[in-house]
Amino acid sequence: MHFDFKKNYRIDVRLIKRGSQAFWYGLLLLALLLVPAVLPKYFVAQMTFILIYSVIGTGLIVLTGVTGLVSLGHAAFVAVGAYAQAILMARGVPLLVSLALSAALAAMLGLVVGLPALRLRGLYLAIATLSFGFIVEILLAHWESMTGGNSGLSVPTPTLWDVAVTGALFYYLCLVVLVLCLLVVLNVLRSPTGRALRAIRDSEVSAQSMGVNLALLKTFSFVLSAALAGLGGALYAHVITYLSPEQFGLNLSIELLMMVVIGGVVWLQGAVLGAVFVIALPQAIAVIKDYLPAVIEQQTGLQPIVFGLVILFFVLVEPTGLYGRWIKVRTYLELFPLCPGSVFVRERHFLRTERLK
């Protein structure tokens, strides 16, 4: 059990709240640094996937969890980042520059989508982004001179100062990128901008009446989110090494949303936990399949069913996701014999109509 004595206002916005926090996150970072030295190659590859998904998820959390805007077209930003990276690398642009350029290109696209989205809310925005996702997917399939169309596009091996960045080195690159992204987003979220974004999520009308510039901040949220998705996409391109438009369809958008919902949509930790879950679940299904009777084992539909049930479970039973559950467990343990059952009773929500009352 710990107590926060607030002696000045800066305590509220400190990046590291307590010494113990610094210790545990430091330990985690150390463990992550040791991964390529200890674990076999296959796990390093899977860890790289997790890191990349976390980068994308971080952006999605800024947009969905913090600002409250739902995007069903995030795969499009990932796709733009991935294709930009592949094309730029093929033209001989250095790795770090092309990473930055890919992110910038996705951000610009985010700006273009974000501007009309300002007038839209809730479901309409989800539908607009859905349409946008389709348009980008179709565009990628038909712009054959640039993207190779449906036959695909291969991604060159990344090199940094004439050293091929693959395997463990690429893992470190992703780790550095993720840590930098998390730091940027954390700093944004503890600034007045971040508080304004949360205010928009809770009530646009009251945020506006407190002087929050809705248009500017919603666009900012969109651009930041798109940039992170683009950056993640650029890294993703190198892992899958071969791009084709149908990889970036609606299913990827749904998978990304699912990831943040499962991880815990309000916390940045949720992006990482969700990424771990989304990468680990198919592997777990593949392992469990061997022990199941043959009738179930041969079903191709097993994975979507399991994913669907997992989403249903999290939305209906644990809407705060894995990280929310962890906070509850931690609080229970800290208060151990004294934790009253009513601490985490779910608030009853009522329908907030968007129509005229």
Partner 1 sequence: MQIVISGLAVGCVYGLIALGFVLIYKATETVNFAQGELMMIGAYFAYTMAELWHWPFLPSVVVAVLGTALVGAAIERVLLRPIEGEPTIAVIMVTLAIGMIARGVASALPGWGTDTHHLHVPYQGGLVDLFQARLSMEHIVIVCSTAGLCLALFYFFRAAKLGLAMRAVSQNQLAAYYIGIPVSGTNARVWALSGGIAAVAGILMAPITFVHINMGSVGVMAIPAAVIGGFGSIPGAVAGGLILGLCESVAGLYLPEGFKDPAPHVLVLLVLMIKPSGLFADQVRKKV
Confirm or reject binding of residue 342 to partner 1 (CB under 8 A).
no
Q: How far apart are CA 326 and CA 189, in angstroms?
A: 21
The DSSP symbol for 266 reads T
Q: How far apart are CA 153 and CA 147, in angstroms?
A: 6
117-136: which residues touch partner 1 (CB under 8 A)?
119-120, 122-124, 126-128, 130-132, 134-135
Confirm or reject binding of residue 357 to partner 1 (CB under 8 A).
yes
Confirm or reject binding of residue 244 to partner 1 (CB under 8 A).
no
Q: Which of residues 44, 139, 184, 214 is near partner 1 by CB under 8 A?
A: 139
Q: How far apart are CA 83 and CA 88, in angstroms?
A: 8
- Token couple for 10: 């800066």
Q: Which of residues 104, 111, 182, 250 is near partner 1 by CB under 8 A?
A: 250
Q: Is 195 exposed, middle or buried (0-12, 13-18, 19+ CB in 10 A)?
A: middle
198-217: which residues touch partner 1 (CB under 8 A)?
205
Which ranges constitute the DSSP H helices of the chain? 10-13, 19-38, 41-60, 74-90, 95-117, 122-142, 144-147, 167-189, 192-202, 204-209, 214-240, 250-263, 268-289, 294-297, 302-316, 321-334
CB of 61 to partner 1, least distance (A): 11
Nearer of residues 150 and 283 to partner 1, judged by Cβ? 150
- Token couple for 99: 């990473």
Q: Which of residues 8, 145, 342, 353 is near partner 1 by CB under 8 A?
A: 353
The one segment of 37-45, 94-102, 153-161, 258-266 that binds partner 1 by CB under 8 A: 258-266
The one segment of 45-53, 75-83, 98-106, 348-356 that binds partner 1 by CB under 8 A: 348-356
Which stretches of the chain bind partner 1, using CB under 8 A? 64, 68, 70, 72, 116, 119-120, 122-124, 126-128, 130-132, 134-135, 138-139, 141-142, 205, 250, 254, 257-258, 261, 265, 299-305, 307-309, 311-312, 315-316, 319, 348-357
